Amino acid sequence: MYRAPVEEIAFTLKHVAGLKPALDAGIFGELGEDLVDAILAEAGRFATEEVAPLYKIGDEQGAVLNGAAVTTPPGWKELYRRWVDGGWNALSAPQEFGGQALPTMLGVAALEMWNSAAMAFGIGPTLTMGAVEALDKHASPALKAKYLEKLVSGEWMGTMNLTEPQAGSDLAALRARAEPTGDGTYRIFGQKIFITYGEHDFTDNIIHLVLARLPDAPAGTRGLSLFLVPKFLVGDDGALGARNDVFCSGLEHKLGIHASPTCTMIYGDGFEGMVPGAIGWLIGEENKGLACMFTMMNNARLAVGMQGVAVAETATQKAIAYANDRRQGKAASYDGDGMAPIVHHPDVQRNLLTMKALTQIARAISYSCAHAIDVARVSDGGEATHWQERANLLTPLAKAFSTDVGVEVASLGLQVHGGMGFIEETGAAALYRDARIAPIYEGTNGIQAIDLVARKLPLAGGEHVHGYIAELKAIANQVRTSNLGGFGRTADGLDRALDDLGQATRFLQGLLADGRSDEALAGATPYLRLISLAAGGAYLARGALADQDRIALCRFFAENLLGEAGALKERVIGGAESLAAAGKTLISA
């Protein structure tokens, strides 16, 4: 059973990602460590005692579609109500609409715990929080007044409707259309697929944010507008009115996250005899919908990164517990009677320490991204620009690396369980099944790597990333000058990895400057892992400098795993030509 690692989360927030210096400097007003600790402790209790016990029934029974109505597994609707009553949906939302306006760092820390306890539960509120941010930044005052308070409280939930059958990740191919009616509303027509919590029984209204095209809109993504389309129309007094012309026509039968309803949504088909056309309201400006949606998408990408961290944490806990209980063979380090617990075997230890280290560095990267978002929001001028650029740089790392880690760690956890991991009884397989979607949705990890190289490396004329690398090198130098013998060759490993990162960065920036973008993008995925491992090693070192009990894990990572950085650099610098040549053999005439 999952137990929220509240102390580990608090340590990473405060001493690795930067929350404690920010609190000490007063940049979050009167927020102090006592309140932070109290929030984390209660979130941990709720995740451990309320959410985690319902994970198994959610995985086994899943969401069910009857007609156009979706029923969630037994106990889940009541769980959501208790979660909302606890005020968790409003944690980081704006105070103007009933939110608590706490830092994003606390929001993502709590999000980790919900997703560790049951990823299929945690994903639903994630989208509502993203919808709140998109509406707060882009919607008209009238729309904010009508919808935001109930979305912030969690009385209603929100969704994100992008993908269509023919489009996949290519939003330029979207066909859903919006027709103005002349009274300020629009009629929406089209089909959207893979819509998470598009229909459910948690709330009595669902607020859909939908990308669609206006008549005569420009082709491609420049012609997309964003619309608010409620399941039930809402009167000026806030009361629910008639059903809108939108419904769920099917649920996907998925590898994992079975309790999360993944819906095909139909707009404007004349549901139950209605006048065809779902009624919607424009958010932001016409043909500027993608910019509005990306406010929600960036929020969702960090949240999905937390899902990777979350599954990795649960898988690690489960594997360590199993390895201490399961007995098999002899081990030199075991002096007890009979067979040794498998945790004494070096290869099992290697797997468990790899799981633990990867989980911690993914958490550190994701929390550092949240910290950058928070500081950017409370700063101005050049300081705000710097921290927004840092958030932009770290977002693809938080999303892609963390979700890759979720799959990798869940797979290692299954391996530690041996044959018992491959069957459903232990629950290790369920975590692996759940984790596998996260590298795919909210922009595949390949798209995140492209974004990192093509859009984030050029930030500040290409200098921001080098400033970041310099900060990481300063941590390596602190290790070298600390004279703490337990670090072993950690400083050497960090220096090599960061030098490899610097070389790969300059190489890719040179290709981009020369207009050789295809060659640069050939190295994008290994580059994303390279920068993540190098940064992660430095973050582990920062934590170990603050708490010497962490030195052993930091050294293990530096001396056993960080050497991958050199191979990744070679893939970035020397792999494009062979990739292009071999790739031609895959293309049919």
Nearest of 475, 387, 68, 504 to residue 247 by alpha carbon = 68
What average pLDDT does range 142-155 have in this prediction? 97
CA dist 430 and 248 (Å) reads: 26
Residue 25 predicted with pLDDT over 90: yes
Residue 492 lies in a domain: yes
The DSSP line for 432-459 is HHHHTTTTTSSS-HHHHHHHIIIIITTG
Residue 106 predicted with pLDDT over 90: yes
Q: What is the pLDDT of residue 272?
A: 92
Q: DSSP character for 186?
A: E
Residue 565 lies in a domain: yes
- Residues acting as catalytic residues: 442
What average pLDDT does range 277-292 have in this prediction? 93
Nearest of 502, 340, 350 to residue 416 by alpha carbon = 350
What average pLDDT does range 112-116 have in this prediction? 98
Q: What is the pLDDT of residue 60?
A: 97
What average pLDDT does range 258-268 have in this prediction? 97
Which amino acid, residue 323?
A: A
pLDDT tens digit sequence for 481-502: 998 889 999 999 999 999 999 9
CA dist 256 and 439 (Å) reads: 13
> Which pair of tokens denotes residue 578?
């062979």
- How far is residue 2 CA from its own chain's centroid? 20
What average pLDDT does range 299-319 have in this prediction? 96
Tell me the angle at which helices 104-117 and 346-378 cross, rounded to the nearest 10 degrees: 150
pLDDT tens digit sequence for 434-471: 999 999 998 899 999 999 999 999 999 999 999 999 99
Collapsed DSSP state (helix, strand, coil) of residue 50:
helix
Q: Cβ distance 123 to 260 under 8 Å?
A: yes
Percent of the chain at pLDDT above 90? 92
Torsion of Cα atoms, 410 then 441 then 395 then 461, to 10°:
130
Tell me the angle at which helices 104-117 and 289-325 cross, rounded to the nearest 10 degrees: 50
Nearest of 233, 216, 234 to residue 225 by alpha carbon = 216
Residue 510 lies in a domain: yes
**Do strands 186-196 and 262-267 pair parallel, antiparallel, or not at all (unpaired)?**
antiparallel
CA dist 391 and 376 (Å) reads: 8
Range of the domain at 527: 445-577
Residue 535 lies in a domain: yes
Residue 433 lies in a domain: no
Residue 212 lies in a domain: no
Q: What is the pLDDT of residue 554?
A: 98
Confidence of residue 589 (pLDDT cuts 50, 70, 90): low
Q: What is the pLDDT of residue 299?
A: 78
What average pLDDT does range 279-295 have in this prediction? 90
How crowded is the C-beta side of 235, counted as CA atoms within 13 Å? 5
Report the 10 Å Cβ neighbour count for 43.
23
pLDDT tens digit sequence for 362-416: 999 999 999 999 999 999 999 999 999 999 999 999 999 999 999 999 999 999 9
Residue 387 lies in a domain: no
Which amino acid, residue 281?
A: W
Residue 567 lies in a domain: yes
Q: What is the pLDDT of residue 551?
A: 98
**Number of structural domains the chain divides into:** 1
Which residues on adjacent β-strands are paired with residue 210? 161, 227
What average pLDDT does range 58-84 have in this prediction? 98
| pTM as predicted | 0.96
